Chain A
Amino acid sequence: MAKLIQTEEETMLQDAARALLDNSAPVSRLRALRDAGQTRDDALWQEMVAAGWAGILVPEAAGGVDMGHAAAHVLAREMGKTLTVSPFLSTAVIAVSVLRQLQDSRSQAALKAIAEGAHTYALALDEGAKFNPDRIELKAEKRGNGYVLNGEKRFVVDGGTADRVLVLAQSDDGLCLFDLAADREGLTRSSTDMIDSRDAADLTFENVELSGDELLGAAGDGASLLRFGLEAGQAALAAETTGLAQAAFGMTTDYLKERKQFGVPIASFQALQHRAAHLWCELELTSSAILHVGRMLDLDPGNATLAVSLAKARATDTAQLAVREGVQMHGGIGMTDAYDMGFYMKRARVAAEWLGDYGYHAAQVARMRGF
């Protein structure tokens, strides 16, 4: 297995990403969007498209740069540091990882549309309050060559603004994955006012009629097609969350050095030093899991499940700790809306739930380790 060190190429990508994001998407951008009641940043997304990020996992034949998952994680991590609002995960990671598995011309065209920035995607999966891809009740009834969808999806991230939706449905032949336009008749999207100020929506499908062409793969392939998309998404979300944790930690240690009480910087108090040092250790362990999952998805994708769940579990846990300590060690200012730490805390909570929480992924790890 490749070494667990960031390559030079990855470091160059990181620097380029940082430059783009610092310029176009500092945390103040999220604040401005929030204040304006917006959850979509088209100009930024087009900038990312131009930089090749939308096509980071798209094959070159379909117009992408095909740099692999470790590279996608570098981008996700940098976005996490400044809480970037973008459909990157839903579109460039999850949708692309699903579509890439199919060779047909419509999937190739879909990949091309993503790389070009013509389409963004959302994944409509959850039906309950917890991630549970095995319990799908939204119905796909066969009618002629096509299907009719009825049912509801919840917590569809980017679902209020995406151009297209991937939806997992139950049919007589098993689970089916469809790729349809979001403005389809019978599909109602109601955006939720999320704590992280980003886009999520509940989707209601009422006799939504689909052609057979909108089914991805064959009937019954839904779960297996989605599996790799989910794993890719979970890993990238873990990377984003780790970036978030690193940034929250950086803000906190900066503050410890700057804030004075009792006539000295609060960084001189051992009680705080040791908690900061402990948090740094946690970040180090989690960073290893992130590097590892990138290598696994790129080099041995068929066996990456353990690495994915390990990364998502660790990242979730570490980010929660980082934001809790972040708020506490800032004192009163950490509780104010005017200070950014709250944004980190709220995003960490949403990221913890999306695509499986700590318990879900720890249980996956345990199962694979013989529990």
Chain B
Amino acid sequence: MALKIIASQCTSCSACEPECPNVAIREKNGTFIIDPKKCTECIGHFDAPQCTAVCPVDDTCVIDTSYPRYQAPA
């Protein structure tokens, strides 16, 4: 599983981009997006997803349930 950014709520403040330990976040068409292939939900890096913790708009960086939960490589 990965996180996703609800584009309609994103203010494009860019705060999340440098916080991502996996460089999974980038700007696209005026808002920011998460590359689900790179996102690890911050597992192995931090206690909580960094994008969610820094985002000024509640419920904008949320779990994308269309992906299976991230499994840390064994």
A, B co-complexed: no
